[in-house]
C-alpha cells in the first residue's frame, strides 16, 4: 500500500486534518500550527490524487478511508481526532463508521451525510482550459482562469496547486484527469446503516448551503452523539473565512 504524504506539526495527541476537493495539506497550515501550539500533533494529510500524495485511477471514499488506516498504522497511531472539510469530511465520516476504533473524536466541517449532485463542473471546465504547453507563469494561468472564474479566492485556492514539473513547465499537483471524471463519487454518501457512536461535532458556515436544518435528523441518525455548531460570517470555506471562530469552536470540542 502506498503511503499518504503529510506535514506533521507539534507534539501531543494526534489530530488528523483532511482537506477538501482539489485542496491540499497546505490549506490547513495556519490552523495546524495553532492546534500544535495548543498541545496537539497535527497531521496535515494529502489525500490520494491530491497534493504530494500518490496518483491512482481508483478513487472512492472506502479507498480514501483505507488510505488513512494505512497511514495511521505506519505512524503507530492507534486512534486520533479526525477533522475533515467537505470531501475530507466525507472521508472522515467513512473512517469513523467503518473503523470506529481509529476515531477518538470526529469533526466534520460543512458537509452532511447525504448525496450531493455534482456541482463543481464550472471549476473543472475552467481548469480544462489551461494549456500548459502555452502557459509559462502563474500570472498567465491566473489570467486564463479569470476568463472563466471571476471569484479571486477560488482562483487563488486552485493556483496553490501549481508547481514546476520541470524547468519551464507548470502543472497541477492534483490528478486532474482522474478527478474530473469522478464527480459522482465525490458527492457520494456513506452507507444507509453506517453508524458512529463516538463524540462528533458538525460545524457549518452560516452562509453555506451544504448543511441545512433539514439535514439534522440524518446527521443524528448516523452520529447520535453529534452536536452542530454554526460559524458566523462564513460560507463553505468556513475555516478560511472565519478561522478565529472555527478554531475556538473546534478546540473547545477537542478539549471537552
Domain boundaries, the chain: 6-116+188-255, 121-179
Judge whether 98 counts as a catalytic residue: no
d(CA 243, CA 234): 9
Candidates 5, 85, 222, 236; catalytic one = 236
Give me the pLDDT at residue 26, please: 94
- The CATH number that domain 6-116+188-255 falls under is 3.40.50.1820
Candidates 6, 53, 65, 86; catalytic one = 86
Contact 18, 93 (CB under 8 A): no
Candidates 73, 177, 206, 232; catalytic one = 177
Q: Which residue blocks in 50-162 are alpha helix, DSSP H?
A: 61-74, 87-98, 121-128, 138-146, 152-159
Judge whether 6 counts as a catalytic residue: no
All residue ranges of the chain with pLDDT < 70 are none
Give me the pLDDT at residue 38, please: 98
Judge whether 86 counts as a catalytic residue: yes
Give me the pLDDT at residue 147, please: 93
Question: Cell numbers 479571486 label which residue?
Answer: 152
3-class SS of residue 202: strand
d(CA 153, CA 23): 13
Q: Which three three-digit cell numbers place residue 114?
A: 447525504
Amino acid at each position: 500500500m502506498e503511503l499518504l504524504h503529510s506535514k506533521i506539526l507539534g507534539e501531543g495527541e494526534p489530530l488528523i486534518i483532511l482537506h477538501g476537493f482539489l485542496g491540499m495539506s497546505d490549506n490547513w497550515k495556519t490552523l495546524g500550527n495553532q492546534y500544535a501550539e495548543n498541545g496537539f500533533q497535527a497531521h496535515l494529510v494529502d489525500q490520494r490524487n491530491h497534493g504530494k500524495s500518490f496518483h491512482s485511477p481508483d478513487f472512492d471514499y472506502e479507498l480514501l478511508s483505507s488510505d488513512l488506516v494505512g497511514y495511521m498504522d505506519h505512524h503507530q497511531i492507534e486512534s486520533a481526532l479526525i477533522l475533515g472539510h467537505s470531501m475530507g469530511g466525507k472521508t472522515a465520516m467513512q473512517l469513523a463508521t467503518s473503523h470506529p476504533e481509529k476515531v477518538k473524536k470526529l469533526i466534520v466541517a460543512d458537509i452532511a451525510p447525504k448525496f450531493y449532485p455534482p456541482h463543481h463542473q464550472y471549476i473543472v471546465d475552467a481548469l480544462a482550459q489551461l494549456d500548459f504547453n502555452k502557459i509559462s507563469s502563474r500570472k498567465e494561468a491566473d489570467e486564463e482562469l479569470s476568463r472563466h472564474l471571476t471569484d479571486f479566492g477560488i482562483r487563488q485556492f486552485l493556483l496553490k496547486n501549481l508547481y514546476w514539473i520541470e524547468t519551464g513547465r507548470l502543472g497541477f499537483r492534483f490528478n486532474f484527469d482522474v478527478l474530473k471524471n469522478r464527480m459522482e463519487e465525490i458527492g457520494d454518501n456513506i452507507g444507509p446503516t453506517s453508524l458512529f457512536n463516538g463524540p462528533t461535532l458538525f460545524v457549518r458556515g452560516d452562509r453555506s448551503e451544504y448543511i441545512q436544518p433539514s439535514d439534522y435528523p440524518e446527521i443524528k441518525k448516523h452520529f447520535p452523539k453529534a452536536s452542530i455548531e454554526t460559524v458566523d460570517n462564513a460560507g463553505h470555506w468556513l475555516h478560511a473565512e472565519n478561522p478565529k471562530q472555527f478554531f475556538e469552536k473546534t478546540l473547545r470540542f477537542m478539549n471537552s
